[in-house]
Amino acid sequence: MSDQVWVDHVRAEDHARWERAFPVRYLVVGEAEDEGGGELLLGRCAAVEGLFADPPPPPREVLVMRGCAPGVVAGWVGAAWIEGRTGSGRSHWWELLDAEVLAVGPHAADPALVDVVVGAAIGAVDAFRLAQHPCERFELTTSRPTDELLAACSEVTGLLVDREPPRPLPVRLVGCELAEALRARLAAGHRNWPAYTELWALDDGGRVLDRVSTGLAVERTGPSVLGGGLLDVQLSVSPEQLPGSAARGVWRSWQAGPPQRPGSWRGLSTAAKEAWQSLALYLREPGPDRSGGEYHLDGRGVEDGTGLHCALGEAVNGPGGYYGREWNGLRDCLGGGFGVVPPFTLHWHDFAATERELAAERDPATGLGYPEELARMLEQHGVTVVRA
């Protein structure tokens, strides 16, 4: 490849063809750090080995929120957050995965208060410079749309434990044609330039199937097994950045383009449906916004919240369509840019069946199931929902 210059956006279709016996399947695209955020095509390649990997599950920990107001009840919570607030108003947060209130006991210093014991795996963390900005108040909040406050206190023990990041995994780019800019950097010993680099997977039509933020920590390069003057490049990538093993089959089913048959996502695992939603987002071609009209959602066999959002995207934008992959994503879509904006009518067929399938996802504060909460949110934004 000849040398490149930074551009606002790399057009995948401009680089999806080469004069070789095998197709281009991936583009390596970097982001400028001091050039106004432009993009640079760093290379293209025929295949990738080691791309689909599942990160190890985060370890579970026991946290104690000390000195909370009474009223907290032991039981499963699910997805939740702990947010710490400083005296100056700064906040830090910790994502809790599969959280459970294990026990509620008396607080040693004040019998009018209680200690809340929480078991959870810690997900994403935003605790930047916590030592310089200690928190004066901690709040445990559900991740449901109601954001119910479960407990609040001034001290949490067990939360600020240092955790080892997962070990990076080898990802091998096979049959690479590298840009001169990257070749020169590698020859000079620079093994992580640019720091923010994505791997763009292409479908058979040369469109971006998905983007994986791999970085460019190059471990080694060498002549490719495919020959032809190409290189094989081994990267070191955090497993948290890689699509999970469930995505492999979904990518394969979308390789020829978005699905044409309704309901192709039904029966997939939750993780596979999450991958499905990611591809639906990248390959969406909704056209200009339109309002009005009637749409039909098949409420049977959605199985989980992710499936419900697959069904909604399909109802509004056709097979493989995207209209939000979770609560906040749907709210963004209702604001425009995703093909359909209110007012319009949604006929939700077999609504009762959807409610039964998602019975476990009921908000303890309101008693409402997730389908009913979603329907009410749609109605608040001007959608007429007909529950059939």
- Round to whole Å and give the CA distance between 40 and 4: 7
Tell me, yes or no, whether 179 and 42 share the same domain.
yes
pLDDT over 70 percentage in the chain: 93
275 lies in the same domain as 349: yes
My answer on whether 372 and 251 are in the same domain is yes
Residues 293, 378 within the same domain: yes
- The predicted-structure confidence for 304-350, as pLDDT tens digits, reads as follows 999 999 999 999 999 999 999 999 999 999 999 999 999 999 999 99
Regarding whether 32 and 177 lie in a shared domain, the answer is: yes
Backbone phi, psi, residue 296, to 5°: -125, 120
The radius of gyration of the chain from alpha carbons, rounded to an integer in Å, stands at 24
Q: Establish if 304 belongs to a structural domain.
A: yes
**What's the pLDDT score for residue 322?**
95
Write the pLDDT tens digit of every residue in 272-281: 999 999 999 9
Cis peptide before 343 (omega within 30 of 0): yes
Whether residue 1 lies inside any domain: the answer is no
- The answer, yes or no, to whether residue 146 has pLDDT greater than 90, is no
Task: State the Cα–Cα distance between residues 68 and 150, nearest whole angstrom.
Answer: 10
Domain-located, residue 290: yes
d(CA 243, CA 128): 27
22/72 same-domain check: no
Judged by average pLDDT, the poorest of 159-168, 183-192, 268-277 is 159-168
> Quick one: pLDDT at residue 2?
47
Structure-block tokens of residue 340: 């359909």
Q: What is the pLDDT of residues 91-136, one digit of tens each?
A: 888 999 999 999 999 999 999 999 999 999 988 887 655 556 788 9
Same domain as 196, residue 119: no
Same domain, 64 and 153: yes
Dist. CA 237–CA 145, nearest whole Å: 33
pLDDT of residue 270: 94
The residue range of the domain holding 352 is 247-387
Mean pLDDT of 236-265: 94
Among residues 157, 185, 213, the one where a domain terminates is 157
At 3 the pLDDT is: 47
| Same structural domain, 217 and 255 | no
Q: Which pLDDT value is given to residue 6? A: 46
Q: How far apart are CA 223 and CA 230, in angstroms?
A: 6
Please choose, from the candidates 300, 330, 303, the residue with its C-alpha nearest in 3D space to the C-alpha of residue 317: 330
Mean pLDDT across 173-197: 89
CB under 8 A, 24+ apart: contacts of 306-309: 306/270, 306/273, 306/274, 306/277, 307/265, 307/266, 307/270, 307/273, 308/354, 308/358, 308/370, 308/371, 308/374, 309/277
191 and 295 part of one domain: no
Is residue 218 one of the residues assigned to a domain? yes
Q: Which of 211, 210, 219, 207 is nearest to 172 (CA)?
A: 219
pTM score, two decimals?
0.78
By DSSP bridging, strand 169-178 and strand 344-349 are: unpaired
Confidence at residue 32, expressed as pLDDT on a 0 to 100 scale:
73
Q: CA torsion sign, 8 to 14 to 20 to 23?
A: positive
- Asked whether residue 3 is domain-assigned, the answer is no
pLDDT band at residue 5, thresholds of 50, 70 and 90? very low
Mean pLDDT computed over 164-168: 84
Whether 325 is in a domain gets the answer: yes
Looking at the structure, tell me whether residues 102 and 236 fall in a common domain: no
Please, what is the average pLDDT of the chain? 90
- Report CA 236 to chain centroid distance, whole Å: 21
Inter-residue contact 317 to 323 (CB < 8 Å): yes
Q: Which residues of 349-364 are buried (b: 16+ CB within 10 A; e: fewer)?
A: bbbeebbebbeebbbb
Specify the residue for token string 């098949």.
298
Residue recorded with tokens 């999450």: 274
Residues 31, 180 within the same domain:
yes
Residue 162, domain member (yes or no): no
From 120, 135, 157, give the residue that closes a domain: 157
Q: d(Cα 6, Cα 88) in Å, to the nearest integer? A: 41
Q: Indicate the residue among 241, 268, 283 that finishes a domain.
A: 241
Of the listed ranges 4-18, 186-200, 288-302, the least confidently predicted one is 4-18
pLDDT on residue 129: 57
Give the C-alpha distances (Å, rounded to integers) separating 211 from 27, 251, 309.
9, 12, 21
Q: Provide CB contacts within 8 A for 92, sequence distance 6+.
A: 83, 84, 86, 126, 127, 128, 130, 133, 135
Task: Let me know if residue 234 belongs to a domain.
Answer: yes
Task: Specify the number of domains making up the chain.
Answer: 3
Read off the CATH number of the domain in which 324 is found: 3.30.370.10
